[in-house]
Amino acid sequence: MTNTDPLQKLLVSESQAVDRQELADLLSPYLSINKETRSFDFAGKFGELQNAEKLLILFAAIKARSLVFGTDDKVTPSEIIKMDFAPVGSIKVTLKKLLESRDIKSENGKYSLPNYKLAQVVARFKKLEK
């Protein structure tokens, strides 16, 4: 028996909702993911970004890493701070601002970029490039 419920086409798994090409295009100027360590290698262009954009790129990268390696796409503030790309105070303040603006979400002390926000992040960076 086949399911002909038209609402079925609205159901996607978390990984299916991400345009992988769009995500790769967004991230490639700013960082790469080390295959062995799964850590991020930030490119020079990443350092030119404001803290909010750095964090959005980081969250997008964490999402990409989770899609490739099957890891969690959520991260704690202390994990972000350990990456040492911005001062501790700046990271905490920026996380709070991104959360208040609903650019990211928080669950049990871990932050992530929701899949539905990815298109907005891509659009934001396209505006920056102009």
Q: For residue 12, with 0-12 CB atoms within 10 Å meaning exposed, 13-18 middle and 19 or more buried, which class applies?
A: exposed
Question: Tokens 């086949």 appear where?
Answer: 2
For residue 56, the model assigns a pLDDT of 97
Sequence-distant (≥ 6) Cβ neighbours of residue 108 within 8 angstroms: none
Do residues 67 and 24 make contact, with C-beta atoms less than 8 angstroms apart?
no
Model confidence band, residue 128 (pLDDT cutoffs 50, 70, 90): confident
7 domain residue, yes or no: no
The model's confidence at residue 9, banded by pLDDT at 50, 70 and 90, is confident
pLDDT digits (tens, 9 = 90+) for 31-88: 999 999 999 999 989 999 999 999 999 999 999 999 999 999 999 999 999 999 999 9
Report if residue 2 sits inside a domain: no
Q: Is residue 94 part of a domain?
A: yes
Residue 69 is assigned to a structural domain of this protein? yes
**pLDDT confidence of residue 41:** 95
1 within some domain: no
Confidence at 15, pLDDT banded by 50, 70, 90: low
Residue-range definition of the domain harbouring residue 110: 18-129
pLDDT at 26 over 70: yes
Query: How do strand 105-107 and strand 31-33 relate by DSSP bridges?
Result: unpaired
For residue 77, what is the domain's CATH number?
Answer: 1.10.10
- Residue 12 located in a structural domain: no
| pLDDT score of 13 more than 90 | no
**Residue 1 confidence (pLDDT):** 47
- Is 64 within a domain? yes
Look at strands 110-112 and 105-107 and give their pairing. Answer: antiparallel
How many domains are there within the chain? 1
The pLDDT confidence band at residue 3, using thresholds 50, 70 and 90, is low
Does a structural domain hold residue 80? yes
Which of 66, 61, 55 shows the shortest CA–CA distance to 24?
61
